[in-house]
Structure 1
Amino acid sequence: MSGKPPLPPSTAGRSTPAAPARSAGAPPASKTKPTLAHPPPHVVATLKPPPQVIPLRPPPAHLYRHQGAPPPRKPRHRQHHRRRRSACSCRRACCLATGVFLLLLCLALAASCLAYLYYRPRAPAFHLQPLRPVRLRLSNASFPSAMDAAVGVKAVSWNPNDRVAFRYGAGEGRVSLADPDGDVDLGWAGVAAFEHAPRTVASVAFVATAKGVVLDEAVAARVRERYRRRQLAFRVAVDARVGVRVAGMRSAMVPVRLACDGGVMARRGGSESDGGSNLGPMSKCQVYLFRVRW
């Protein structure tokens, strides 16, 4: 027990670090600062702080553009502005053209109304005279019966206008024989062009011929009986073109059709010396422009 060093006296209220214990044969501590030995390299490497990792940034975008990339596009707002400007110009041109067209149309309608109020045009009236000559020849030798026909047609027209004249172009006239079982076509003929002056009378005349028209036995019997009594009924149609001439100006020619459904045979011994009144009653015809009744 004699080998242990004595304990230092304790100081109340003070905390001083305890002095290191010395062995019995150790020399007294020196007042110089002790030198520390250098640690080995592997210990120093483990004690050093880890190096800071600097994040890598991608290179600027312009560096990629030089490596064969397509050229940059123009800003979209410029293209949109150009498209919008072109659309506005097209819309403005369309509106201007529409306005000019409507203005011209209004002027044309106003001029037409004024001309109509001044000239007061009226449609001409057509009447079909009794047909003559009417030659029908039916053969009894063959079956069915065959008929040869020659029919003369004349329609009279009256122009009631004072300042309006009509121009009729060349056309075509057809004649058919009315029958309950169906009309029998009797041929056609050309119609010459003519001009109808104001307050005058004009006429349309042609002769239609047909050969070898085949008839049923019942129809042939009715035709013979009515021809003997001169009670045959005919239908006449004339297709042509008509134009208007007013104050030296001529309009375009438009299609016109003259339809006469009440044609009759002329009386025996009648003539046109007194205006055709002794030929029989005349039938009124209808005039159609573009298939619309005039």
Structure 2
Amino acid sequence: MAEPPLKPVIQKPPGYRDPSLPAAQSGFRPPPRKPVLPPSFHQRKEKSGFCRVCCCSLCIFLLVLILLVVTGAMVFYFLFDPKFPGFHVQSIRMSRFNVTKKPDGTYLDAATTTRLEVKNPNVKMTYYYGDTEFDVSFGEGGDETAAGTTAVTGFTMGKQSTTSLKVETKASNMLVADDVGNRLRTGHRSKTLPVNVEARTKVGLGVAGLKIGKVAVTVKCDGITMKQLDGGDMPKCVTNMLKWLNID
């Protein structure tokens, strides 16, 4: 007897679940639920908008402030035409200069008097100087020999005035290298010994009866020789203000 024909296998559609199987074995998993966010997350847009407004307001304020400062500086410049005082070396005198070789080394003994001329070319401004500290040295090219330090009491420079400063320094029994001593002696005899003067002070400004706070200023007069001064020259010094602005 012939066997009945086999029934075709019907493919189960996707997602079919056999009702005879328990839920745990059916392999069906419900779709994940969308997490519920806390209320604080929904306020981020409001906070970011507030921060953006604050940043824009701050930038506008800074731009306006910079514009006001620049405008004020331009108005001040055109009204008063400010010029920084000029420093010149008038003279250098050495009342004592001895280089002595001893069994234990070479020694320098020197007394130096330097005169500086300070001019205020401004018609509408007064300058106020604090106590000024002076350093004097001999030599150049990074091989300077200290020749003493002194201080000058603060002073005031009126409009279009000139002030002369007297700076006296001493170097007593200072030990130097033998070759340095020879160079110092030779340079002194030929009047080609470079003399360096450095002044550190604070300068304030007086305008229309008002005093503006003092700023630190360094004045350097480098490489001045006796021969140069004897020839009638008055070398000009370089002024360093705020550690970056150089004024010749």
Higher strand proportion (structure 1 or 2):
2
Q: Give the counterpart of 1:91 among 52, 59, 72.
A: 52
Equivalence for 1:177: 138
CA distance in 2, matches of 1:249, 1:79: 56
Give 4+ residue runs of structure 1 displaced > 6 Å after superposition. Answer: 53-57
CA distance in 2, matches of 1:94, 1:75: 32
1:287 matched to 2:239: yes
1:200-219 equivalences under 5 Å are 200-219=161-180
Unaligned residue ranges in structure 1 (runs of 5+): 1-52, 58-73, 268-276
Alignment: residue pair count: 219
The alpha carbon displacement at 1:116 in A equals 0.5
The alpha carbon displacement at 1:280 in A equals 4.9
Q: What is the CA deviation profile of residues 174-211 of structure 1, one whole-angstrom value per residue up to 9, with x for unaligned ones?
A: 11112679221112112321122110001333212222
Contact 1:131 1:152 in 2 (8 A): yes
Q: Give the counterpart of 2:217 among 251, 256, 267.
A: 256
Stretch moving more, 215-224 or 114-123: 215-224
1:125-140 equivalences under 5 Å are 125-140=86-101
Q: Let me know the Cα RMSD of the aligned residues.
A: 3.2
CA distance in 2, matches of 1:140, 1:171: 35
CA distance in 2, matches of 1:88, 1:180: 61
SS of equivalent to 1:254? strand
Q: Does 1 or 2 have the higher relative contact order (CA < 8 Å, sep 6+)? A: 2
The alpha carbon displacement at 1:75 in A equals 5.1
1:79 matched to 2:31: no
The alpha carbon displacement at 1:56 in A equals 10
Q: Give the counterpart of 1:186 among 139, 147, 150.
A: 147
Stretch moving more, 94-103 or 108-117: 94-103
SS of equivalent to 2:102? coil
Q: What is the CA deviation profile of residues 55-108 of structure 1, one whole-angstrom value per residue up to 9, with x for unaligned ones?
A: 999xxxxxxxxxxxxxxxx95374333222122222222222222222122112
Stretch moving more, 133-142 or 249-258: 133-142
CA distance in 2, matches of 1:156, 1:137: 28
Contact 2:221 2:238 in 1 (8 A): yes
CA distance in 2, matches of 1:219, 1:88: 71
Unaligned residue ranges in structure 2 (runs of 5+): 1-18, 24-34
1:158 matched to 2:119: yes
Q: Which amino acid aligns with 2:116?
A: A
Q: Which amino acid aligns with 1:292?
A: L
The alpha carbon displacement at 1:123 in A equals 2.0
CA distance in 1, matches of 2:36, 2:209: 65
Change over 3 Å in CA distance of 1:159–1:137 after alignment to 2: same
Change over 3 Å in CA distance of 1:84–1:213 after alignment to 2: same
Contact 1:262 1:284 in 2 (8 A): no
User: TM-score under structure 1 normalisation?
Assistant: 0.64
Q: Which amino acid aligns with 2:224?
A: G
Identity of aligned residues (%): 25
